[in-house]
Amino acid sequence: MNSSLPSSQPASGLNRFMDRRGFVRTSVHAGAGALLLTSKSAIAQQTSSERVIKCALIGCGAQGERLRASAADVPGVQWVAVCDIWPYPRTPMGRKMGYDNKKRGYDAAVAEYADVGEMLSKQTDIEAVFIATPDFLHAPHSRQCLEAKKAVYCEKMMSNTIEGARDMVKAQQETGGVFQIGHQRHSNPRYIHFRENIYKGPKLLGRVTHAYGQWNRGVSASKPLSPPKNQEIPTDILAKYGYDSMEAFLNWRWYKKYGGGAISDLGAHQIDMFNWVFQTKPTSVYAAGGIDYYDGKEGRAMFEYPDNVMTIYEYQLPTGTARAYYQVLTTTGSQGYYEKFMGINGSAIISESPTYNQVYAEPDNDWTQYSTGAHPAVVQAGDDVKNKFWEQSRNWDKPKPPSYDLGPLAKALADVRESKPLARWEIPVTLSRFPHSPHIQNFIECARAKTPDKLNCPVQMAFESCVTVLTALKSIEQGAKVTFKPEDFVA
């Protein structure tokens, strides 16, 4: 088995490499902590001690840095090793880990390795490993660490192939190890509250017929990366660990050999939320997309997977059919990223970003009774309803022609063609930590107690999301709707 360790992007010295996703810091409303009792994480927290867990990080790119920073407020994390084939980000990462240890009163020493196998054989005190390497290495690295009896936290996407993801499930089944996949929304208290106390619970949305998700990213986020002067990895080392060139090493997300394209990189989180909220798997998917911009012309990067994708999933719920639409765009950052769930009694929009945190009640649905008490399901919003992004405040207005005022006719047209304004409420839970922190804490608690059944995103659940996401690429290739079979989701 290849014990290679690539890194996607340097973690220090090049700030733009750290910017693929922004950190989110918000606040927690009074009483929100009790809502965490709906998660498996809280159960583990109540019953475990804070015994120190000695941890290693594999991969020192942007996502590796996210995990290090997010683990800083998780009790009991001590870094003892870091592994990456590129010294340029590896050494600074080790220094930061040592500083994190020192702040907690732990031994500051962090050993550096270029090879996973060497690290596992020499660093026998490691109990838990965080994997943040490119997608194509998640399967071999996860298996390698699980077979070495380490608890494993592996970033999403599980793998760039369904076969690789299936092997990850089998590795966990064979070893019985604690194996968490980094779909961090599963541990986010806002998402947990929405699913348990709004979508379920009192079922404030009523029958949900549609869901929607998007992640729009501007072209500046996908500019080619290049190494600093005199910091290239020798070609024989790159070849040993599966890379055709330094350019491929730094920009691996563009290539089918290493990643799954934009819908895997960004869409994995939100498409996963369709499955998680509905608590079932889709019955079909139809997707369309193409290489609309990143075609290698005029100095642009060249993607091997579609850069813009739109998909429609169908779900069979106890209440009837629900359709979930998802889009990922890499040609505009307009309107960012969020998910919506739309029902006959109300709709909700939610995101890791604090910008989107609203629930809308359809007319004749009074939610006052659900907004009282120590732990309300919703709270009254403080401003006017704004259902569409173009209704937000602006400092300009287009002059209206003299014929604009239609008198009574205008009101009649509005009454006939438009729904009444919706009452706006808010989800009363936000997050005061980095988005990954609760998920890492759930993992550490389970690693400490050796309770894989308490994980918020075990590998089988993530495998089902992986199949859901990657099958959209199959639909694009075939130009046709793909129907899922039950066995598709069996590892």
d(CA 391, CA 389): 5
DSSP reduced 3-state for 82:
strand
Pair 445, 41: CB distance under 8 Å:
yes
d(CA 199, CA 191): 10
Q: Which two tokens stand for residue 133?
A: 């390497």
Ordered by where they begin, the domains of the chain are 15-183+435-458 (3.40.50.720), 189-223+236-387+421-432+467-489 (3.30.360.10)
pLDDT in tens, the chain (491 residues): 333 444 333 333 333 233 333 222 233 333 333 334 334 444 444 445 679 999 999 999 999 999 999 999 999 999 999 999 999 999 999 999 999 999 999 999 999 999 999 999 999 999 999 999 999 999 999 999 999 999 999 999 999 999 999 999 999 999 999 999 999 999 999 999 999 999 999 999 999 999 999 999 999 877 788 999 999 999 999 999 999 999 999 999 999 999 999 999 999 999 999 999 999 999 999 999 999 999 999 888 899 999 999 999 999 999 999 999 999 999 999 999 999 999 999 999 999 988 898 999 999 999 999 999 999 999 998 755 455 544 555 444 555 555 555 555 555 555 555 677 899 999 999 899 999 999 999 999 999 999 999 999 999 999 999 999 999 999 999 999 999 999 999 99
Per-position DSSP letters for 343-406, written without gaps between them:
ESSEEEEE-SSTT-EEEEEPTT---GGGS-SSS-S-EE-SS----SGGGS--S--PPPPGGG--
d(CA 312, CA 323): 7
Q: Are strands 151-154 and 128-131 parallel, antiparallel or unpaired?
A: parallel
Specify the pTM: 0.86
